Amino acid sequence: MDFGFWLFQTLNALQLSMLLFLLSVGLTVIFGLMHFVNLAHGALYAVGAYVAATVAGMVGYWAGLLVAPLIVAELGLLLYWLLIRRMRQSGPMAQVLVTFGLIFVLLDLTRIIWGDIALGIEVPDLLSGRIEIGGVTYPVYRLFIIALGAAIFAALALVLAHTQIGAMIRAGVDNDQMAACLGINVERLFLLVFCIGCALAGLAGAVAAPVLSVTPDMGLKILIPTLIVVVIGGLGSLWGAMAGSLIFGFVQTFGAVLMPGLASVLIYALLAAVLILRPAGLFPARG
């Protein structure tokens, strides 16, 4: 186990972390602002991957990467008006159940539209091939995922910290009733954040499509890791989502090579420990 090994695995871990970050950040901010747990977030990611694969097949990769988040955001808008708006006052169990039902519905809808066969997606020339860094050759596309995740994180952190809309979101997460009293249109803020969260899920799907095969159950598979990230990091926190993603990515990746057979158990044990010792997660959004 030389330096090359460690570098290679670190890059793998980062790649997984950034993918999870794109998914979990939407979920976590939606929860922080609306106290709404959307179990169908993973299903939206699968829809994003399918849309990206379809558009990429017709027009090209970059078009797919652009269109997928937009379509998924539209879908999110639809879901918001049909279901989520009415579920805002319900308890966590009702929300979990409705979005659990939504998983089933979206799963079968993708099967009806795209069939059961796994779809592939071509990586554009610019991102194909491998390059050598630090003595290891690594696929360019995976480096692209890492860069994209980091860029999105930086952009979100800047928006949250330095813009008016960011201040409104932070106020809403901290105390939505108080925010409403201060004249912030909380309902519209919810809608905006919900759509951005969905768009990021769609983007994650589009980005993941070339690395993983696109199948109807990909949303179900990614859901549990995403929830773990969100809970470890602390519901509602951007930094928590990043920290949780990194923890998950590294524990999973290094666990799989150093302690095969125990990696997943390790993750769940970690999750249980966090929930018991720090029930609000490592970086809770509220004081």
Partner 1 sequence: MFHLSPLRLGTLALLFAGALFSAFASGYAGLEILTEILILAILVIALDMVAGFGGMVSLCHGALMGAGAYAFAMAGMSLGLPVWAAMLFAVLFTGAVGWIIGAICAGSHGIYFIMVTLAFGQMGYALVFESPFFGGDDGLAGLARPDLSALGIDLNRSRAFALYCLAALVLVALAAAQILRSGLGRALVGIRDNERRMRALGLTVWRTKAHLFGLSGMIAGLAGVLAAQHVMYISPGLMAWTVSGEALVVVILGGLGTFVGPILGAAAFVVLRHEIGALTPYWHLVVGLILIAVVMSRANGLFGFVEGRLARLAARRTAKADAPHREPRDA
Residues of this chain that bind partner 1 (CB under 8 A): 37, 83, 86-87, 90-94, 96-98, 100-105, 107-109, 111-112, 220, 224, 227-228, 231, 235, 260-265, 267-269, 271-272, 275-276, 279
* Least distance to partner 1, CB of residue 72, Å: 18
Q: What is the DSSP string of 235-264?
A: TT-HHHHHHHHHHHHHHHHHHHHHSTTTHH
Between CA 171 and CA 173 the distance in angstroms is 6
* Least distance to partner 1, CB of residue 237, Å: 15
* Least distance to partner 1, CB of residue 280, Å: 8
* Least distance to partner 1, CB of residue 25, Å: 18
Please, which residue, 49 or 267, has the CB nearer to partner 1?
A: 267
Between CA 82 and CA 76 the distance in angstroms is 10
Please, which residue, 145 or 253, has the CB nearer to partner 1?
A: 253
* Least distance to partner 1, CB of residue 278, Å: 11
* Least distance to partner 1, CB of residue 108, Å: 4
Between CA 30 and CA 217 the distance in angstroms is 23
For 236, the token pair is: 């509602």
Please, which residue, 227 or 238, has the CB nearer to partner 1?
A: 227
Between CA 56 and CA 73 the distance in angstroms is 18
Please, which residue, 107 or 186, has the CB nearer to partner 1?
A: 107
Nearest 5°: phi and psi at 201? -65, -45
- Count CB atoms within 10 A of the CB of residue 215: 19
Residues 28 and 237: beta-carbon distance below 8 Å: yes
- End-to-end Cα separation, the chain, in angstroms: 43
Please, which residue, 77 or 152, has the CB nearer to partner 1?
A: 77
Please, which residue, 227 or 247, has the CB nearer to partner 1?
A: 227
* Amino acid, res. 226: T
